[in-house]
Chains A and B, each alone.
Chain A
Amino acid sequence: MSTSSLVNAPSLSQRARNIRRNALRMGEVQGQGYIAQALDISDVLAVAYFHAMRYRPEEPTWEDRDRFLLSNGHYAIALYAALIEAGIIPEVELETYGFDESRLPMSGMASYTPGMEMSGGSLGLGLSIAVGMGLGLKRKGSKSRVFTLFSDGELDEGSMWEAMMSAAHHKLDNLIAIIDVNNQQADGPSKQMMGFEPLVDKLEAFGWFVRRVDGNDLDAVVVAFDATISHPEPQPRIIIADTVMGKGVPFLEQREKNHFIRVEAHEWKLALAELDAGDRS
């Protein structure tokens, strides 16, 4: 978190709501975006940026910051929403999302955006970079940690397992990975594309400290982050976050599951209204 004050659950839920709101507003700007994923991961990003991570909004490259690597570059809309909420990107830039010359392209790239630490898009890259950063930080004697977010579909990529083995081999206790298990990839449900369960057993067998949580239960996500951060053993850590695509906007949660869900032009305002209504109830 960017301040030293403790942040309680209600304020985290506000943060998560604001992240969802920012993402929906960007979706409305372009009339499209990976909005179902953004909504499912907002709670995790709220905990990462407003409970777990150390950073300075005014100095995105501050040496002692915790690094955040977005491996699933198509989740950029979600990370921009969090970076805006964190004050790293000015809110006004939200209107530029996806347009020519914007710092907020639809796929996340390090060369475009403050706070974006890698160029994703090609899936399965982030964990390898995270291994190198983890090694580099240790070499420097830095206390900073490397957080990296990837999606369950990325587990299909062989490079992920190279990096899984490597992180454990090098005892990277400064590496905290997060998998978004929303069970949806381009061609259909992830578990039907290439089965990856039992994930906890698999990752523990690979030498990782594993916590699996409902990724849309803020209290549970906080507990999982705390456990991975405070775990004393010299091993990499991972949070498996089971999430619901479209979370927070009931009609999008109900929509036929798709990697890239269709939202009609008039529905963005409805989605924002549902989000706000849900928050009041």
Chain B
Amino acid sequence: MKSVTSATPGKPRLTTSAMIASIAAEGQKTKPAPFGHALVELARSRPEVVGLTADLGKYTDLHIFAKEFPDRYYQMGMAEQLLYGAASGMAAEGFLPFATTYAVFASRRAYDFIHQTIAEEDRNVKIVCALPGLTSGYGPSHQAAEDLALFRAMPNMTVIDPCDAHEIEQIVPVIAAHHGPVYMRLLRGQVPLVLDEYNYQFRLGKASLIRDGRDVLIISSGIMTMRALEAAKELAGDSVDVAVLHVPTIKPLDHEAILREARKPGRLVVVAENHTIIGGLGEAVAALLMRSDVHPVFRQIALPDEFLAAGALPTLHDRYGISTAEVARQIKGWLR
């Protein structure tokens, strides 16, 4: 039996294994449905944009688009293979489909359809998927711990793991301008707003040094960049100076920026990702460093290679080492 206990007993917190839970911390600045609003904005000037979903319009923020452009919204029913096959057909006819579901269903159930009808044919379909990595407490059925590994392995596929609402808003027009299949991890609902304070600009295929530091380099993607920045503030209190290199584009990977930062001497290099330790950003960076003869002290913060437990997200993020407190604690341990 998988029992879940809080890493910080005594502190009151949610303890339900809900399917949908906000990853925003209490009191954190958020923005509602950034993807839905950005897609509406894009669609105003791009009549070829259409939205497709498999019975998860409301849960992927596509309902915002549906409300604004009802005749450009295609409800495909709870049929993910059909969803992506049909998206390929729409793209073949010159449309620009944004096709949404949960990350588990796109990566695991519809994989062959995406592989053959979208990636192999290089169709211009944007696959936008909610509940990436461990962002649902509902158990393995809804926890897409391996989505990045699966889509990274697919030729022609661009893979993006955004950090926050600010970045998602920027990504939508950029991937629309890029011709070819894209898999984007989606944060939906009330989405944390973090990178707006760092004068951040998303560039496809580019990593971005969000903050510099002498002692530790955290290379991170998705919500782990938010955690890394929070952990960096905590660690600063212990006089540990942490740099954070945000790598939202998992594929193609920004080799140049990663090597440039990893080559700087004297820093512990930590890759932090909301993904299984197998086949994600951590192993991609490790392989790059090995191939390039760059050998810093290297550690990974990632989800374990196991079926994750059901439970409240804060509990689970502590348990599996991807909460802010756990990121800081692990790094301090490695520095000892």
Contacts and interface: CB of A to CB of B under 8 A. Distances in A.
Indicate the member of B90, B97, B113 with the most A CB atoms within 10 Å.
B90
Interface stretch (B21-29, B116-124, B285-293): B116-124
Interface stretch (A29-37, A136-144, A191-199): A136-144
Given A119-B117, A136-B92, A129 B50 contact: no
A128 B95 contact: no
B97 to A, nearest CB: 8
B85 A163 contact: yes
Nearest to B87: A132
Indicate the member of A122, A128, A142, A169 with the most B CB atoms within 10 Å.
A128
3 A-B pairs with least C-beta separation: A132-B89, A128-B85, A136-B93
A128 B76 CA distance: 10
Given A129-B85, A134-B89, A136-B89, A110 B121 contact: yes
B88 interface: yes
A118 B91 CA distance: 12
B93 A118 contact: no
A3 to B, nearest CB: 26
14 contacts: A118-B117, A124-B81, A127-B85, A128-B113, A131-B82, A131-B85, A132-B92, A133-B90, A135-B74, A135-B90, A136-B89, A139-B95, A163-B79, A163-B85
Interface of B: 50, 74, 76-77, 79, 81-82, 84-95, 97, 112-113, 116-117, 120-122
A206 B253 CA distance: 46
Interface string A113-126: 00001110110110
Interface string A144-183: 0000000000000011001101100100000000000000
B71 to A, nearest CB: 8
A125 B85 contact: yes
B117 A125 contact: yes
Contact of A128 (B74, B93, B117, B122): B117
A166 B79 contact: yes
A82 B244 CA distance: 59
Nearest to B77: A166
Interface of A: 109-111, 117-119, 121-122, 124-125, 127-137, 139-140, 142, 158-159, 162-163, 165-166, 169
A136 B91 CA distance: 8
Main secondary structure of the interface of B (DSSP, over half): helix
A73 to B, nearest CB: 9
Given A117-B92, A135-B90, A159 B117 contact: no
Contacts of B86: 128-129, 131-132, 135, 163, 166
A165 B112 CA distance: 20
A163 B89 CA distance: 12
Contacts of A119: 116-117, 120-121
B89 A162 contact: no
Given A159-B81, A166-B79, A169-B77, A125 B89 contact: no
A165 B77 contact: yes
A103 to B, nearest CB: 16
Indicate the member of A122, A137, A159 with the most B CB atoms within 10 Å.
A159
B92 A129 contact: yes
A111 B50 contact: no
Given A119-B116, A125-B117, A133 B77 contact: no
A165 B54 CA distance: 13
A121 to B, nearest CB: 7
